[in-house]
Chains A and B, each alone.
Chain A
Amino acid sequence: MGKLRRRRIRFILIQNRAGKTRLAKWYMQFDDDEKQKLIEEVHAVVTVRDAKHTNFVEFRNFKIIYRRYAGLYFCICVDVNDNNLAYLEAIHNFVEVLNEYFHNVCELDLVFNFYKVYTVVDEMFLAGEIRETSQTKVLKQLLMLQSLE
């Protein structure tokens, strides 16, 4: 058996094609400089890829599972041994929840209602783990939280 490494989500990044970060959620300790560097590198790696390419890119010691929705790249950075497809599904699941929650989600929703997006992230992912996968449950919880506002 080879080296056993910790395996979970390192960070979630949502960027647009121009490289603007719309959401960044870190599950690992990084300096600000390091974060910035990572963001730039991820952008460089992901945007050059053609739509016909796979949705996985090797990245440093990790790999990035990404998916493009309109002009936005949803990237999840995980360990190389993790299940690519599961995270790809997780991204789609996440986007579907966003879409339902924001009624036809748009890139600018993520800017305007960034705190809500982070809430959605926190509802679905916690401490680098996929926490809830049921869309109905997540949405129910989100609406409950929204009503408290």
Chain B
Amino acid sequence: MLGCRAASCPGDRPRQPEELMARADSGSGPWPPEGRLGSWTQMSHTKPYIRKKAVLIMYKVFLKYPESLRPAFPRLKEKLEDPDPGVQSAAVNVICELARRNPKNYLSLAPLFFKLMTSSTNNWVLIKIIKLFGALTPLEPRLGKKLIEPLTNLIHSTSAMSLLYECVNTVIAVLISLSSGMPNHSASIQLCVQKLRILIEDSDQNLKYLGLLAMSKILRTHPKSVQAHKDLVLQCLDDKDESIRLRALDLLYGMVSKKNLMEIVKKLMTHVDKAEGTTYRDELLTKIIDICSQSNYQHITNFEWYISILVELTRLEGTRHGHLIAAQMLDVAIRVKAIRRFAVAQMSALLDSAHLVASSPQRSGICEVLYAAAWICGEFSEHLQEPQQTLEAMLRPKVTTLPGHIQAVYVQNVVKLYAAILQQKEQAADTSAAQEVTQLLVERLPQFVQSADLEVQERASCILQLVKHVQKLQAKDVPVAEEVSALFAGELNPVAPKAQKKVPVPEGLDLDAWINEPLSDSESEDEKPKAMFQDEEQRHTKPRAPEADEQELARRREARRQEQANNPFYIKSSPSPQKRYQDAPGVEHIPVVQIDLSVPLKVPGMPLSDQYVKLEEERRHRQRLEKDKRKKKKRERERRGTRRHSSLHTESDEDIAPAQRVDIVTEEMPENALPSDEDDKDPNDPYRALDIDLDKPLADSEKLPVQKHRNAETSKSPEKEDVPLVEKKSKKPKKKEKKHKEKEREKKKKEVEKGEDLDFWLSTTPPAATPALEELEVNTTVTVLKEGQEEPRGEEQDAEEDREQDLEKKPSKHKKKKHKKDKEERPKDKRKSKKKVPPADEEAAEPVENGTLEEEPLPPMSSYILLAENSYIKMTYDVQGSLQKDSQVTVSVVLENQSDSFLKSMELNVLDSLNARLARPEGSSVHDGVPVPFQLPPGISNEAQFVFTIQSIVMAQKLKGTLSFIAKNDEGSTHEKLDFKLHFTCTSYLVTTPCYSDAFAKLLESGDLSMSSIKVDGISMSFHNLLAKICFHHRFSVVERVDSCASMYSRSIQGHHVCLLVKKGEKSVSVDGKCSDPTLLSNLLEEMKETLATC
């Protein structure tokens, strides 16, 4: 049992919680109960370190085993008041986490948290708690009221930006939740907005971003207070960072009003021109359209301006949002009747101008607007100034390069135009002109008939036939205009997307009633259809008797007709809908404002939206004057009015009447539609299981065994032992029951207390002094709470404070860094100056991988070491291993004749050791030497190679040897000898092997390597040369290099991996090594130390 072990040997197993943790992570199967118990008991461990870990992992345990939450909760709650601040904050973390999921269960903890909030000085904890309160306030508005004050105090006092931000966020949440209840919260809002403004004005991008983010939250409920900072938001649009610009755009969306819409859009338009990336430009475009069209064009006072903005937007090349602009054009033209004349004029100009058609349709989506332009010109052709010209524009051969669906619209609307022109010409009795138009169509339409798009083809051939027929009739002088325009008689009404749903089911129509009685052979079939048609419609209809008398039916029919007449969405069957449209009171009550004639109706060429801003100003000015006149009159009559907006020249939004009005009111939701919030609950959500009522008393089955001392248990029931066994058995359950009952009663009492406690704590007005004893008790505890107790400070508090101070200092610190960009990060802070972290902005050298280092010229190096020397000969040697032969090394000996004698019959012999022996030619004994296969004339050197067989390579070793030779000169020949000591270093067993960093990391992760390290001081050599030296002399290769740090790799002939981490400090180098053999590693490092010492 884990728990027992921990209890019996306290403090010696600091890793236990991690073991538990591992199980919680991997545990798919049932978890051993002792595990749960383990972390539970460790929550009261004597070491705060263990307690802290145990507390933290409880969250994971709860997630896996929700049933453990209730029994463990009381103890978890205790930990909120643990003397160790670390444990306390761990408990806060866990409870906050739990509470965010199911906040209502934790409302009762609010007083405790409140106390913590007012007493704690740890910013990390404060942030958590404040966040939690943010989740609780929507459930308990009174809590919000209580919070406002301490939170605003914190906002005023704290210097930690993160805490400030959290406070502001929560205050906003609180204010949103009580938006109705509190009269004087404008001060708090003002404070928040003010602080946010400081954040946004900060040069730190992070703060700016967060400021904008929080601002947008305020905007939702208090748009007025944010609107004052429009300048700031507009400024942010110029920011370099796209995410900041996007946040600012979001804010703008909510900031527009009738008053400033034109100005803001104008500003945005300049940004559209300046924008570099198409994505941002597209974003701007959609935002402009969103802003203008929001809530049914609420803020647009002049639709001509809007149309010209849309037309200006069509000049954007390469935008993806052509269809959006098109949709807006259509929508406005259809719904704002007064604007049609103007819109048609603009659209015909668009059709006429070549630039849209010319741009390649594959790349640019902007040609989509032609779809709208063609449709508008066709449908409202009666407003066209020069229909003939537009008709010709639409029949240009270039049009066939457009996408199919646009061509289709072109073809259809060409006919509408044609109809209008015919009518016009026939009225003027200009038959030849009418025939000319027909001829034009007959000539041009075939280009569409040949289209690859089926829709275009079909429409074109159909219409071509029609026109040809008309031509025949015209030849006979038959007036045709009437009949052709009859094709398009009537008006197309806009239909709201949800209109169909709103059409009520006509009375007398029972959608559930069978049209044909079903075959009643099985009952199961009866039930099926019911389930299928479980729809909203069902609720509209009441079950009614299927047969009603004639009179009743007639009455219903009449009522239905009335209803339909009043419903603009109902498609009417009457023959002259246009007339009816005017008569019907349901539509007529929407006043259609006549167009303001001060605006020139036809703007030559492309319109400029700017001029509307001016015109709008004038219009408003006129309006204002009129209003002022009226006001004056009123004032004279009333003398004193309690008007809020007494200043004459600040017009509120409501004062500005739109020049045109949008026809359709916003669609309603169907009556029985459910708010979609409930869809959010995911039944598979693991956190749902944690939605547990914690205030309910524990059932017996839920209780966890409590550890007690054994003697305590026996002393509790001394009389039991005297009782005979049989009796004991029968007595025990009874007693337990009783005890339990008592406990339960107590608990209930407590619960009631708690409930009242919370209520009391939350209520701001002191309750009338009630005589109930219980409540008096509560009262006293509350006052204690309110006073804010001073917690006894633990010894660790100091350390904690250290960190807190850091937290507070930081934001200002990084500000400084950003400003000055000096590398000396914290000159003031002595403690910190030691810990220099590479600054974030500094451009780092890319890591070098497996590269040969070629930055600087390297000093010449040789791996040959002097072996022995005398007056005749000098021997240098080098040892090389190869990966192919795992126990052989080749010793290359360079023999240099230093005398003027001729050296011959050279023979090398060594004294073999157990571990290393010289490979001799076959058949020779161990004492024989190996002849050198050459002779040396004076001054000449040559190299001979000897192979040695090595058993173990983890240790360095020396072999004694002798070189014997005959020196021959003019005076004769002598037999000479030279003794030497052959030194096999561990390095000599290494073979330079390249290694990729991935493989290197894998190797390290394998965990089979042992570790060792050295440090060498007083090094002046550059890191680059140093690495080169290690590479050369110790046969390593560089795996990766980052700044003055490098990882290196090599391999021994017997396959040992050797990994190094070489780090250069100011004047020192540290080398950490990892190797499959510890002895080899330490020997290697010792050798390396010697090499480095000479650097």
Chain A positions near chain B (C-beta within 8 angstroms):
1, 3-8, 16-18, 20, 50-58, 67-72, 83-86, 88-89, 92-93, 95-96, 99-100, 103-109, 111-115, 122, 126-127, 129-137, 141, 145
Query: Is A71 a contact of B844 with CB atoms below 8 Å?
Result: yes
Q: Quick check: B97 and A133 within 8 Å, CB to CB?
A: no
A126 to B177, CA, bound (A): 33
**Are B687 and A6 in contact, with the CB atoms below 8 A?**
yes
Interchain nearest-CB distance for B1069 vs A (Å)? 12
Bound together, the chains give a CA A92 to CA B840 distance in angstroms of 10
Contact across chains for A85 and B205 when beta carbons are under 8 A apart? no
Q: Interface size (B, Cβ < 8 Å)? A: 88
Contact B807 A89 (CB under 8 A): yes
Q: Is the CB of B59 within 8 A of A129?
A: yes
Give Cα distance in the complex from A67 to B97, angstroms: 25
CB within 8 Å for A134 and B799 given contacts A51-B840, A85-B210: yes
Contacts of B846 in A (CB 8 A): 17-18, 71
Q: Are B800 and A134 in contact (CB under 8 A)?
A: yes
Is B847 in contact with A107, judged by CB distance below 8 angstroms?
yes
Inter-chain contact B162/A112, CB cutoff 8 Å? no
Pair B49/A141 contact, Cβ less than 8 Å: yes
- B446 CB-CB contact with A under 8 Å: no
Contacts of B1040 in A (CB 8 A): 108, 111
Question: For residue A72, which residue of chain B has the nearest CB?
Answer: B844
- On whether A132 and B240 interact (CB within 8 A), knowing A70-B1043, A109-B1061, A112-B1074, the answer reads no
Task: Tell me if A112 and B206 are in contact (CB < 8 A).
Answer: no
User: Least Cβ distance of A118 to chain B in Å?
Assistant: 11
Contact assessment for A100 and B86 in the assembled complex, using a CB-CB cutoff below 8 Å: no
B166 A83 Cβ-Cβ under 8 A: yes
User: Are A53 and B86 in touch, CB under 8 angstroms?
Assistant: no
Q: In the bound complex, what is the Cα–Cα distance between A52 and B1046 (angstroms)? A: 30
Interface string of B15-58 (1 = CB under 8 A from A): 00010010000000000000000000000000001001100110
List A contacts of B1004 (CB < 8 A). Answer: 111-112, 114
> A109 to chain B: which residues have CB within 8 Å?
1045, 1061, 1063
The answer to whether A54 touches B56 (Cβ under 8 A) is no
Contact across chains for B840 and A106 when beta carbons are under 8 A apart: no
Which A residue's beta carbon lies closest to that of B177? A1
Interface status of B842 (Cβ within 8 A of chain A): yes
Query: Roughly how many angstroms separate A126 CA and B1001 CA in the complex, as a whole number?
Result: 25
A7 to B103, CA, bound (A): 13
* Cross-chain contact B131 with A137 (CB below 8 angstroms): no
In the complex the two chains form, is B1065's CB within 8 Å of A104's CB?
A: yes
Closest Cβ of chain A: how far from B134's Cβ, in Å?
A: 9
Main secondary structure of the interface of B (DSSP, over half): helix
Q: Are B1042 and A96 in contact (CB under 8 A)?
A: no
A20 vs chain B, min Cβ distance (A): 7
Question: Closest CB-CB distance, B279 to chain A, in whole Å?
Answer: 13
**Residues on B with beta carbons closer than 8 Å to the beta carbon of A122:** 18
Contact A99 B837 (CB under 8 A): yes
**Interface readout for B73-98 with A: 1 if CB under 8 Å, 0 if not?**
00000000000001001100110010
Q: Are B124 and A133 in contact (CB under 8 A)?
A: yes
25 contacts between A and B (CB under 8 A): A5-B100, A16-B1042, A52-B241, A53-B241, A55-B205, A55-B206, A69-B840, A70-B838, A83-B169, A86-B162, A88-B206, A89-B807, A95-B837, A100-B834, A104-B1065, A106-B1044, A107-B847, A111-B1001, A111-B1047, A112-B1074, A127-B56, A129-B56, A129-B97, A131-B52, A145-B14
Which residues from chain B contact A103 at a C-beta distance below 8 Å?
1065, 1070
Given A69-B840, A95-B837, A134-B799: A4 touches B56 (CB 8 Å cut-off): no
Q: B208 within 8 Å of A by Cβ? A: yes
Give Cα A122 to B243, complex, Å. Answer: 32
Q: Chain B interface (Cβ within 8 Å of chain A)?
A: 14, 18, 21, 49, 52-53, 56-57, 59-60, 86, 89-90, 93-94, 97, 100-103, 122, 124, 127, 131, 135, 138-139, 161-162, 165-166, 169, 177, 205-210, 240-244, 680, 687, 796, 799-800, 802-803, 806-807, 810-811, 834-842, 844-847, 997, 1000-1001, 1004-1005, 1007, 1040, 1042-1047, 1059, 1061, 1063, 1065, 1070, 1072, 1074
* Among B102, B162, B207, contact of A89 (Cβ-Cβ < 8 Å): B162
| A4 touching B135 in the complex, CB below 8 Å, given contacts A51-B840, A56-B206, A127-B60 | yes
Kindly list chain A residues whose C-beta atoms are within 8 Å of the C-beta of B94: 129
Residues in chain A near residue B210, CB distance under 8 A: 56, 84-85
Residues on B with C-beta less than 8 A from A100 are 834-835
Taking CB atoms, residues of chain A closer than 8 Å to B842 are: 70
Q: A126-B21, A134-B803 are in contact. List 5 more A-B contacts (CB 8 A).
A: A71-B847, A85-B207, A99-B836, A108-B1042, A129-B97
Smallest beta-carbon distance A139→chain B, Å? 10
What's the nearest-Cβ distance from chain A to residue B30, in Å?
Answer: 18
**Residues on the A chain within 8 Å of B18, using CB:** 122
**Are A96 and B127 CB-contacts (below 8 A) given A111-B1004, A126-B53?**
no
Q: Within the complex, what minimum Cβ distance (angstroms) separates B96 from chain A?
A: 9
Cβ of A134 to closest chain B Cβ, rounded Å: 4
The 7 closest A-B pairs by CB, nearest first: A85-B162, A106-B1045, A71-B844, A1-B138, A70-B844, A112-B1061, A70-B838
Q: Find out whether the CB atom of B837 lies under 8 angstroms from the CB atom of A84.
A: no
* CB-based contact B127/A83 at 8 Å: yes
Q: Give min CB distance, A143 to chain B, whole Å.
A: 13
A69 contacts B1072, C-beta separation under 8 Å: no
Do B680 and A129 touch across chains, with their CB atoms under 8 A apart?
A: no
Q: State how many angstroms separate the Cβ of A89 from the closest Cβ of chain B.
A: 6
Residues from chain B with a CB closer than 8 A to the CB of A86 are 124, 127, 162, 166
Taking a contact as CB atoms under 8 Å apart, the answer to whether A133 and B162 are in contact is no
| Bound-state Cα–Cα, A49 to B1074, Å | 37
Q: Within the assembled complex, what's the spacing in Å between the Cα atoms of A83 and B164?
A: 10
- When A55-B206, A67-B840 are in contact, do A129 and B93 touch as well, CB less than 8 Å? yes
Are A89 and B810 in contact, with the CB atoms below 8 A? yes
Residue ID in chain A nearest B92 by CB atoms: A129
- CB atoms of A130 and B93 under 8 A apart: yes
Nearest CB of chain A from residue B154's CB, rounded to whole Å: 14
The reply to whether A6 and B241 contact each other, CB–CB distance below 8 Å, is: no
Contact of A133 among B680, B803, B838 (CB under 8 A): B803
A132–B52 contact, CB under 8 A? Answer: yes
Interface centre among B124, B131, B839 (most CB of A within 10 A): B124
In the bound assembly, the distance between CA atoms of A96 and B242 in angstroms comes to 30
**Do the beta carbons of A131 and B56 come within 8 Å of each other?**
yes
Contact between A54 and B206, CB atoms less than 8 A apart: yes
Contact among B161, B205, B807 with A52 in the assembled complex (CB-CB below 8 Å): B205
A131, B139: Cα distance in complex, Å: 29
Q: Which of A6, A105, A133 contacts B100 (CB 8 A)?
A: A6
Q: Is the Cβ of A4 less than 8 Å from the Cβ of B90?
A: no
**Chain B residues with Cβ under 8 A from A71's Cβ?**
844-847, 1042
A56 contacts which of B93, B122, B209 (Cβ < 8 Å)? Answer: B209
B1059:A112 contact, CB within 8 angstroms: yes
| A127 adjacent to B59 (CB under 8 Å) | yes
Which of the residues A18, A105, A137, A141 comes within 8 Å of B796, measured between beta carbons?
A137
A136 touches B799 (CB 8 A): yes
Q: For the complex, what is the distance from the CA of A55 to the CA of B1045, rounded to whole Å? A: 27
A133 cross-chain contacts in B, Cβ below 8 A:
89, 122, 124, 803, 807
Measured between C-beta atoms, what is the minimum distance from A137 to chain B in Å? 6
On whether the beta carbons of B680 and A3 are closer than 8 Å, the reply is: yes
A55: which B residues are within 8 A, CB to CB?
Answer: 205-206
Contact between A137 and B799, CB atoms less than 8 A apart: yes
Is there contact, CB below 8 Å, between A6 and B97? yes
The answer on a CB contact under 8 Å between A106 and B1043 is yes
Question: Which of A16, A56, A113, A115 interacts with B847 by CB under 8 Å?
Answer: A16
Whether the pair B1072, A113 counts as a contact (CB closer than 8 A) is yes
Q: Are A137 and B86 in contact (CB under 8 A)?
A: yes
Q: How far is the CA of A69 from the CA of B838 in the complex (A)?
A: 6
B962 to chain A, nearest CB (A): 45
> CA of A16 to CA of B162 in the docked complex: distance in angstroms?
27
Q: Which of A17, A53, A104, A127 has its CB near the most chain B CB atoms (within 10 A)? A: A127
Tell me which residues across on chain B come within 8 A of A107, comparing CB atoms. Answer: 847, 1042, 1045
Docked complex Cα distance between A96 and B833 (Å): 11
